[in-house]
Structure formats: structure tokens, C-alpha cells
Structure 1
């Protein structure tokens, strides 16, 4: 069995691997890293949570020359959330390499700070195609020194209409670069993209967890009109700590999230029409356990960084079985158990049959009972989120927030959860029963002698 010790990594990069606690590669890492480290182009099919970010992160860092001040690696992602997640992972792996600069270039945020960050060229750029293309047009970004190109979640970038932008960006890169394409699904369009951007690529597939024994999949045939009540009933029956409900349309995302909120669930919607600030807040609240149910579209959920997701619900089955594999791959990560609930109307039966054929085994059908419980029976999210209208630009650090909460606010450490610091605002999760008192204390006493606007969201 391949181990990280067997890989020909530089001493500096090996320190990053050791710091991350990596010992045995995941299947996608074992299948791709030898080719990546050998400089080969590659097309890989890998579901969310398979470890692909570490695979291409190690590859691009191995080829990096920190003494050469120019962009040497470019990673393109479909969403800001995924790009941010990828950037954090690469920074973590690069901890043993001195003076590596990584710049995040995504839409939905002000252009000015990104222009300023490019005055001194980074070694690595992680970004979304639209913003990278915009900065290229402004001659603010130079990519003629790129050694490694990564197209992450390539199928979703094509779904979102980024094909023209990607092709424009690729035309500006050196011909002798390495190209790595990762995709959860392999539609024909991905084959075309690979042919246009890769040279004699190695193909690797790490199939999803459709037939993994730790994932329990249940299929419930329901009438369309009873779907919202059936969903509430299933969540009350199983009472998962965290759930992502996938819908096929933005309208369904909004309608389902609203229906669950009326039933008493701590739920919120996530789709592409939300403002970036609202998207950030929803993701923060779900990751810190202030929301127990996230209702999302496929594209918006890319980049969702939740380590232990108890349940995935398909409110409607996707038409592509590969999308189903990708959705349910978000639960039962790292050997943990997971639950998948599927609500299937009569018109979706053919999609269920396609999944059955894909799995090669009968589906587990269970009768769904619509909810009849009162909102008081709905399990509450254990945490609540406080928003602080200050962030990195105000020199605010997680330790400052933690110190204020355990000091003047009088909270014990176990009552404080995840702290997220953004450029102009910060979020902290606290025990739900102590949130109002904590907000009042922080507002009155301030943080490090400074007072900021604080409210519960």
C-alpha cells in the first residue's frame, strides 16, 4: 500500500505533509500523485471529500521555485467558496516552504484589494474564471510563468457557463505547462475541455460512495403536494445533527427552506442569486452548527466545508446519476456513517431506475410519513452566531474575540464554537442559550478596549 513516505516529495513539502498529519493517501491521492509528481497531465474523476485538493496542491507546490517571483501555479474553481477552501488547504501544505505567496482572486468582492495584492506577483493564484479573466484584461495579472494549471470541479465550471473564459485563460498560458483536470462527473463536454487543455493525460477515477456500506440510502415515493410535509417528517424521525437538502431549481431551494423554517427548523437557502455577503453568512452558520439544515442547489454547495455531515436529502433526484454520486459523497467521509434520504415522485421513477442500474443492486424503498409534530418537537441547533462588524482590516484576531468572551462576557471555553474572521466582519458561534447575554456583554465592554456593533444573526 502506497504511503506518503514513498512519494518523492521535497524535504520542505514533506514537513507540510507531516504537519497536516497525512500518512496513508486516499484512493484518489494514491491514483494521481505518482503521475502528478512525474509531471504528467491528468484528468481525474473524484467526488467531494476524496482528498483531491491535497493531491493537486502537493503537485503544484513540488514544482514551485519560491525564489522566482512570478505566478507559477493557477487553480481555477467554480465558486468563491470552493476557491477559498482550496486556498486554505494549499497554504496548510505550504507551511514548510518559506516565503510562498498565494493570492485568492474571486468575484463577489471589491477589485481594489486584489489589484493591490498583484503589485507584487504571487507564486500561486487560486480564483474563479470570471475574475481571473477580468484581471488579465486589465493587465494586472501575468501568467506567462505558469508551470501548473489546475481545473477543479471542471464540470460545474462548464455548467456555470465558464467555458469561454477558461479557454481564453488557457490561451494565455505557456504551452509546456502541466495540466490537471478534476471533475466529479465526466460528461462529453469535459472530454472536449480535456482535449483542448491537456497533453496525453493520464486518466484516474475514484468512484463515489454509492455502494459503500457506511452510507444508508433510503428512497421514499411521495406525491408532489406532500413533499414538504414528508421532508419535515423524515427530519423529525431521524433527527440528524446536520443536513444538506439538494434541490434542482433555485425556486425550490427558497420554497423548501421557507417551509422548513415555518415548521421550526433552523434552516437557510443557498443558491447563486444570493448576495456574496449573504452566502458567506449562511455557510458560516451551517459550518459552526447554528443552522441544522442547509437547502442548496448543486452549484452553490460546491466548496461547502463541513467535516461531519450527518445526512443528505435529495428533494428531487437529479437527472444525471453522476450528480447523485457527487451529492451523497458529502456524507460518510473518512469512514464515518451517513444517511441519504431521497424523495421520489411518480414522475421521477425512471431516474430511480437509472440509479438502480448504476448501483447494480435494488434500491431500499421505505414509506414516508408526513410530519404531524408541532414546532416545539423540532430539534434545535446547538449554537447561535454573533456577527461583529470588524475584521482583519481592524486587526481583529480570533484570540481577541475568544478573550473577550471568556473574560468580560464570562463564558466558559466549551460554550464558544468556531470563530471566522473576514476583512470587515467576524463571526463567532456560542451556545444558543448564552448568545443574547454574550452579545450584550461584548457590546457593552468591547473587544480589546474597542467597541464594535454586535448582533445575533
Structure 2
């Protein structure tokens, strides 16, 4: 028996027979290709690449043409022989950019769909109106008209005023802007009260906003913090109520004629005090008394009802207390024709959406509706436009932009070193100083620490009773105390005179809250400073939003923020930020706020399903 050959040799022999190779030398033989021929083949390959890329870019135009062009022939490729590599590179670059643009367009379409889904509810319409299909088509008519000399001016003059004051107004038949309070036809006591407050001429939002409201138009007002939005809705409602009282005096238990809803007790109290200030000036000058009432949690209901029982012109309220009083039929909105929601987007974000819809169902007729905020992204504007009657949107600056009067300092501080570092930050400016913290326990801890160090400080948060909160705010406002430590209950709309410095003990999870916080300083064209502590526990998306906010406000961006790169930087076409929350560092497709709300809604649905299926 002969010795078997190794398996490897048998494999090599069979392999050579299959390939038709006659000798072992042929297996290693490589034919020589001249350099010229190799370059020619490379050009052919590049030409084919360009041709295929062109066909891919034209796919959207015509599928039939695309099929025809896909049949490449030697003549088409031959035309590519004389194209230089530089030209080839330029052509490929254009193709890449066109693909990038198409990707951006695809993303924008996707974002529009998301925004439509989010904004499909009519959150600002009453249940009864939705059920009956009631639609108001014409705005409310008022007796006020602009001065004749203003009306006689051509439209381009009004447009020039808006352009110069950076006012963006959208809507039908926009009333002309008025540059003085005298042109707005306010009585002398009101103008005197404004002068005593140091207000001699209207701010941009007042120039366009007050004539719009006096004309009876529904309004969405957006302007940076400290721009004088409160006077835009307070002064017209006082004039409307004065007109009603002169024509036919209010009888007991009648009213309110005007309703102002605020998200926090402190903001409601501040608005109430401003109304009383100007109504007091009118009464001293011999005008009829305009009665206003305050309805907020933590205060006796009897105080509100004593005013309502005499006939109430204006009611300032928080959603919770207002809902309670309407439910118990302590007040009614039968003659209410004026509704203002201050910091409207914050109320919806805080979970008052259903309460607002229920409150709307208590109205018995058409009302003039006004929404105001410094941060009102498109989702809230879409909610509003679906319910308001031919609304006018007034923008002074970008919605959600920080005030340019505030110098923003961002400091990287370790978590354990924050409290100690506060003392160094307090040395930057003279008091009064406002310190914000996210958690109630942090507020109490900072307050205790400052008291131990001899700093005159007070603190407020949602866990304290109303009497203690009111006393703390008044002591800080009257400058009896140098420092106010607060949670976000003090960040929305509150006006503290001469606050030079705001310190963010921690960066909030929402960039809108950051804008509201730092807006407590740098108000009414004064300068202010804001210092914010960040560290590794701060969310990445918030830091991206913060970076773009600093760049927009032309502030110094620290190196650790410059290293962060967002999707909007990769695609300059996507520079307008998130349409849901207004953050500049991300898109709506990756909005953490939207995701959190959707998760909360899904959780509530699961909870309802569990309770409905449970056996009791």
C-alpha cells in the first residue's frame, strides 16, 4: 500500500486544475501595467463615481430619467478623461453639500410634524365652546382710537418706528405705534403716577403693545425680562374699567370685568400692588373708585370676598385659588371681557393647562385675551393662535433671549465647594443680591450658612407658609435684608429695585428658567451681573443651550463650554434651535423637556388604566 500524500498538496493540485494553471510559476505571475494605463483606469473609476453621484442627486427629480441615466456607456466615461482631479474634488464636494441640504430639509419636515402633534390641542379654549363649536371671528370693539395726526401718517412711517425700536409685529390691521403716554390718551393722574416711578417714555413693548390692547385686539406679547410688560396690560384694563364705571357703576356682587392670572403668589401680589398704585392716583384726582381684589393661596378668602361683595372691577389670581372660588360659585365671570395670562408659558409648563381650559369655560361671552412672557416658544404661540381672535404677535427680541444688560459669568465649581464659594461671589457687587437654588433643602441650607456668617438674608420657597413668604419678599424689597435666597417661585416676573447681582447656586434643568432668573437684574435699562455655578452634575443639553445663549448675548464663553459641540453647530441651517422649549443648543427631535412631558403623560395614562381595571 503506497504512502498517502499530505492533504495540503492534494488541495493545491485540485485548486490548480480548477483554475487551469499549468505550472507553479504562473501562480505568482502578475502582468505589468504601465503607469499611463493605471492613471487612465483611475480616471475611469473617478468618472464613473461622479456620474453615479450625479444620478443619485437627480433621483428626486425624475425616476424615469434616473433609470435612463444609469446605463453608462463608454462615450460618457470618455468625456471624464480630460477632467482634472481638482475639478473632480470640487464636483464631489458640491454633491456632498446637496446631500447635506436634503438631510436638513428632511429633519425640518420631521420637526414640523412633531410640532403639529404637540400643538394639536386647543389648550386655551373653554370646554363649552369646544363642545358647541363656538368660533369668534371679529375682535372686540372699543371706543379708543389713536390721535388723528398719527392715523394720517403713511404705513412706512410706522414701519420705520418699529424697525428702529426693533419691534416685530405680526397680524392683520396692526394699530400704529405710539411713542408717548400722552398720545395713548391716558389721563393726567396716570401720567403723573408714571413720572413718580421714573417712567417718562414708553419702552418698545409698550409703544406697540398698549395701542394694540386699547384697540381691543387679542395679543401675544414677547419681550425680554424687565422691559415693562406689566404696564402693557395693567394700564389698559384700568382705563376699560374706568369707562365701564362712568357709564354704569358696578353694583354689589358684580364683576370682575378684568381677570389677570399669574403663575405664582408673589407675582400676583406684585401685579395687584401696581394696579392699586395707579387706581389710587385716579381716585385722588376725583375719578371714580376702581376696586381690585387679590385671590391667592395662603390668604383668607374673606379679604377677596369683601371686595367682590361691593362690586369688583379687576381680579388678580393664581389658577388654584381661582378654580376653587369658581367651583364654589363664590365669583362668576358673566361680565368678564378682559383676560390676561402673565407668564403664560410657565403656567402651562407648571401643569395648569387643564385648569386654564376649565377657567375658560366659565366665561359667558367673547373676551379680549392677552398672553405675555419673556420665553414663549412656538408651541405656546400655536396653542394661543388656535383660540385667539385674529391675534397680533409682538416680539421685542427673540423669545427666550437673555437681556443684553446682564453680564453673565459661568464658573465651574465642585459640588462640595459651592456653599463656601458663595461668600466670594457676594463680594462682586454691593447688596441687594438674589441667590437661586433648585431644591428647597438647598435654599434652607444656604440661608442657614449665610446667617451663621453674619449675612442679613431671608429665604422663600414653596414649602413655607404665605405669611413668611410675603414678609421675606417685603423685607428684601425694602432693603431691610441684603440677600434673598429663593427657589424658582421668585424667578418669574418679580421686580426688585436695584438688584445688581443674581447668583445661580445650580444651573436649572430648563434654559427658560435660567433666562427668567437672571432677568431679576439688569431691568429698565440698568446694568446687572449674573453668576452661575456649573459642574459635572449639570446636564449636557443644558450646557449646550447655555453656550449658545452666551454667544447670542455676546458674553464671554468659558473654555469648557467652547469644547462642547451641538447639532446646530454642525448644520448652520439649523441655527434657530428647538421649537418646543426655545433652547438654542438642541432640536425638537432631541428636546429633553418634550420627552419628560411625554413620559409623564404616558405614566398618567398607565396609572388611569391601572385604576380603571383594578377590582375594589
Structure-1-length-normalised TM-score = 0.73
User: Distance in 2 between the 1:174 and 1:46 partners?
Assistant: 31
Is 1:63 paired with 2:240?
yes
Which residue in 1 is equivalent to 2:192? 18
Superposition deviation, residue 40 in structure 1:
0.9
Distance 1:8 1:269, change over 3 A: closer
Which residue in 1 is equivalent to 2:350? 160
Which residue in 1 is equivalent to 2:84? none
What does 1:3-152 correspond to in 2, within 5 Å?
3-5=179-181, 7-9=183-185, 12=187, 14-21=188-195, 22-64=199-241, 65-66=244-245, 67-69=248-250, 70-94=255-279, 95-96=281-282, 97-152=287-342
Q: Secondary structure at the match of 1:295?
A: strand
Q: Which is further off, 328-337 or 298-307?
A: 298-307
Which residue in 2 is equivalent to 1:298? 488
- Picking from 534, 541, 552, the partner of 1:344 is 534
- Picking from 215, 229, 252, the partner of 2:442 is 252
What does 1:48-447 correspond to in 2, within 5 Å?
48-64=225-241, 65-66=244-245, 67-69=248-250, 70-94=255-279, 95-96=281-282, 97-187=287-377, 190-191=380-381, 193-195=383-385, 197-207=387-397, 210=402, 212=404, 214-235=405-426, 237-302=427-492, 304-348=494-538, 350=540, 351-358=542-549, 359-360=551-552, 361=554, 363-365=556-558
Distance 1:172 1:268, change over 3 A: same
Which residue in 2 is equivalent to 1:417? none
User: Distance in 1 between the 2:366 and 2:421 partners?
Assistant: 55
Q: Which is further off, 219-228 or 14-23?
A: 14-23
User: Distance in 1 between the 2:488 and 2:374 partners?
Assistant: 12
Query: In the alignment, is the contact (CA less than 8 A) between 2:225 and 2:523 conserved in 1?
Result: no
Structure (1/2) with the larger helix percentage: 2
Superposition deviation, residue 239 in structure 1:
4.4
User: Distance in 1 between the 2:539 and 2:481 partners?
Assistant: 31
Q: Secondary structure at the match of 2:484?
A: strand
Which residue in 1 is equivalent to 2:77? none
Q: Secondary structure at the match of 1:353?
A: helix
Q: Which is further off, 68-77 or 159-168?
A: 159-168
Distance 1:27 1:209, change over 3 A: farther
Q: 1:327-380: CA deviations, max 9, x gaps?
A: 11111222222111111113337333322213334634499xxxxxxxxxxxxx
Distance 1:340 1:362, change over 3 A: closer
What RMSD, in angstroms, separates the aligned Cα atoms of the two structures?
A: 2.5
Which residue in 2 is equivalent to 1:425? none
Q: Secondary structure at the match of 2:304?
A: helix
Superposition deviation, residue 42 in structure 1:
0.8
Superposition deviation, residue 132 in structure 1:
1.7
Superposition deviation, residue 195 in structure 1:
4.4
* Corresponding residue pairs, total: 363
Gaps of 5+ in 2: 1-160, 162-177, 561-616
Superposition deviation, residue 110 in structure 1:
1.4
User: Distance in 2 between the 1:68 and 1:169 partners?
Assistant: 26
Superposition deviation, residue 298 in structure 1:
1.3
Q: 1:369-392: CA deviations, max 9, x gaps?
A: xxxxxxxxxxxxxxxxxxxxxxxx
Gaps of 5+ in 1: 368-457
Structure (1/2) with the larger strand percentage: 1
Query: In the alignment, is the contact (CA less than 8 A) between 1:103 and 1:125 conserved in 2?
Result: yes
Q: Secondary structure at the match of 2:537?
A: helix
Query: In the alignment, is the contact (CA less than 8 A) between 1:16 and 1:92 conserved in 2?
Result: no
Query: In the alignment, is the contact (CA less than 8 A) between 1:287 and 1:306 conserved in 2?
Result: yes
Query: In the alignment, is the contact (CA less than 8 A) between 2:403 and 2:522 conserved in 1?
Result: no
Q: 1:45-76: CA deviations, max 9, x gaps?
A: 23442211111012222322113413211111
Distance 1:320 1:200, change over 3 A: farther
Superposition deviation, residue 192 in structure 1:
5.8
Distance 1:123 1:349, change over 3 A: closer
Q: Secondary structure at the match of 2:351?
A: coil
User: Distance in 1 between the 2:341 and 2:460 partners?
Assistant: 24
Which is greater in Rg?
2
User: Distance in 1 between the 2:296 and 2:449 partners?
Assistant: 32
User: Distance in 2 between the 1:241 and 1:260 partners?
Assistant: 14
User: Distance in 1 between the 2:470 and 2:300 partners?
Assistant: 15
User: Distance in 1 between the 2:476 and 2:270 partners?
Assistant: 15
Q: 1:70-97: CA deviations, max 9, x gaps?
A: 3211111122221121112122333334
Q: Secondary structure at the match of 1:348?
A: coil
Superposition deviation, residue 200 in structure 1:
2.6
Distance 1:19 1:233, change over 3 A: closer
User: Distance in 1 between the 2:385 and 2:403 partners?
Assistant: 31
